[in-house]
Amino acid sequence: MNPKPFAYASLRVLVIEDEAYTRKLICGLLRQLGFRQIEEAADGAAGMLEFRRTSPDLVLCDVHMEPVDGLAFLTEVRSLGNGQARTPIIFLTADSQEETVIAAKSLEVNGYLVKPISPAMLQAKLATIMARYV
């Protein structure tokens, strides 16, 4: 059974990715899926500032970034004492190491996709996760 499609145009998404080209590709995929409110950041520190400023409905985040990586970003978000702590976060990363996946799950990541991803993979993951949270 396919999840019900969403009207993504009304949702604000934050993309945290240190490689500018990859960030541009991810934002392009999101636009193809119907997202119109897309914020960007180049690492976890800038991502946290943007997260606090924009209160996104969803975050797509790389794992390995400097100076603040995705796991540290996720830890900080989950420690917030407000509703933002439950914001859905999906890791998009080239790291398929079991230790990284386990660490992400222990920090309550909502999804984990290994790059490269296809539009269909992203759409399926988004539909499943957003059906639970929005």
Instruction: Tell me the CATH number at 84.
Output: 3.40.50.2300
User: Does 111 reside within a domain?
Assistant: no
User: Does 108 reside within a domain?
Assistant: no
Q: Does 116 sit behind a cis peptide bond, omega within 30 degrees of 0 on the bond before it?
A: yes
User: Does 56 reside within a domain?
Assistant: yes
Rg (CA), the chain: 13
* pLDDT tens digits in sequence order for the chain, 134 residues long: 344 456 789 999 999 999 999 999 999 999 999 999 999 999 999 999 999 999 999 999 999 999 999 999 999 999 998 889 999 999 999 999 999 999 999 999 999 999 999 889 999 999 999 888 76
User: Does 132 reside within a domain?
Assistant: no
Provide the 10 A C-beta neighbour count for residue 103. 15
pLDDT of the residue at 2? 45
Q: Whole domain around residue 32: which residue ranges?
A: 11-98
User: Does 94 reside within a domain?
Assistant: yes
The CA-based angle 129-121-32, given to 5 degrees, is 90
User: Does 57 reside within a domain?
Assistant: yes
Residue 111, φ and ψ in degrees, nearest 5: -160, 155
Q: Which residues contact 113 (CB under 8 A, 6 or more apart)?
A: 90, 91, 92, 93, 121, 122, 125
pLDDT of the residue at 5? 53
Report how far residue 5's alpha carbon sits from residue 71's, in angstroms, rounded to the nearest whole number. Answer: 29
Q: Which residues contact 128 (CB under 8 A, 6 or more apart)?
A: 3, 111
User: Does 2 reside within a domain?
Assistant: no
User: Does 131 reside within a domain?
Assistant: no
Report how far residue 89's alpha carbon sits from residue 129's, in angstroms, rounded to the nearest whole number. Answer: 9
Number of domains the chain is built from: 1
